[in-house]
Amino acid sequence: MAKTVLITGASAGIGKATAIFLAQNGYKVYGAARRTDKMEELKTLGIRPIALDVTNEESMVACVEQIFKEVGSIDILVNNAGFGSEGAIEDIPMQDAKYQMEVNVFGAMRLTQLVLPKMRQNKFGKIVNISSVGGKIALPLGGWYHASKFAIEALSDALRMEVKQFGIDVIVIEPGGVKSEWGNIAMDSLIRISGNSAYKDMVKGAEKSYKKTEKNNSEPIVIAQLIKKGIEASKPKTRYSGGFMAKPLLFLRSILSDKILERLIMSQTK
């Protein structure tokens, strides 16, 4: 029987590409997002759009219960919903920082809690958490975003060891640069929050660097293919990385000291 997949943040970018790719490869896909109108076209591919707000408990419970009612279980959860709240740590209102963690961390972990009992019962399950190269390397002006992805990395590692005994795999995906609306939203946030603050010169450098590199970003299908590879492996890796500059950056993180890496990063914001 076809495995049932719930993909959050399926209205655009990596989530949308993954929903389409997995549906084309025989999976029963539920694409979840707040903007269900953005997923109408997915219906023609057999994808079931479902409303979901990962900051709302009732919405998350209703989403999971609806899928359980319709097909019995969720075999694979892809925690993809997320965004980047960019700006200097001094400038970002704490309310915004908390919302960043609510979407990127607490929403993902609450959905995980909701699907795990059925997975344990079935002695099968795949939890795929979309992290980032930014879950291993922190850049200036993105502190709260990086904090959320560092948290996803740690929670995934702990969860993997907890649920392995029940036949459940936890897989981390670490994208590098990927073409999506994420970058423009993050850059707009950065300019709005810190564009006229004491950090404005650093913002200008970051904006210049972003514009210079964004044209090289990979298509979202690259990450969709990694996700498929992970969920179909009999013994999946703990982490898969892909997209523009993902592997080179992770390699540099592994061999450079903190101070040398920081100097390299700061050279890109001049």
**pLDDT (tens digit, 9 = 90+) per residue, 18-39?**
999 999 999 999 999 998 999 9
Contact of 159 with 203, CB cutoff 8 Å: no
Catalytic residue flag (residue 131): yes
CATH, domain 4-267, list 3.40.228.10, 3.40.50.720, 1.10.10.10, 1.10.10.1110:
3.40.50.720
Residues in the chain where the model's pLDDT stays below 50: none
- The pLDDT assigned to 220 comes to 97
The tokens describing 252, both together, are: 């540099």
**What is the pLDDT, as a whole number, of residue 211?**
87
Annotation says 28 is catalytic: no
CA nearest 104: which of 243, 9, 210, 168?
9
* pLDDT given for residue 182 in this prediction: 79
Note the pLDDT of residue 71: 97
The predicted model scores a pTM of 0.96
| Residue tagged active-site, from 27, 145, 199, 240 | 145
Annotated catalytic residue, options 85, 131, 148, 189: 131
Active site residue 180: no
Residue-wise pLDDT for 135-155, tens only, equals 999 999 999 999 999 999 999
pLDDT at 232: 98
pLDDT of residue 219: 97
According to DSSP, the residues that pair with 5 across neighbouring strands are 29, 76
Q: What does the DSSP assignment read for 101-153?
A: HIIIIIHHHHHHHHHHHHHHHHT-EEEEEE--GGGTS--TT-HHHHHHHHHHH
Return the structure tokens found at 21: 């790719």
pLDDT, tens only, 190-212: 999 999 999 999 999 999 998 88
* Structure token digits, residue 38: 């953005």
Q: Which member of 27, 149, 156, 179 is catalytic?
A: 149
Where exactly are the structural domains of the chain?
A: 4-267
**pLDDT for the residue 180:** 86
Annotated catalytic residue 210: no
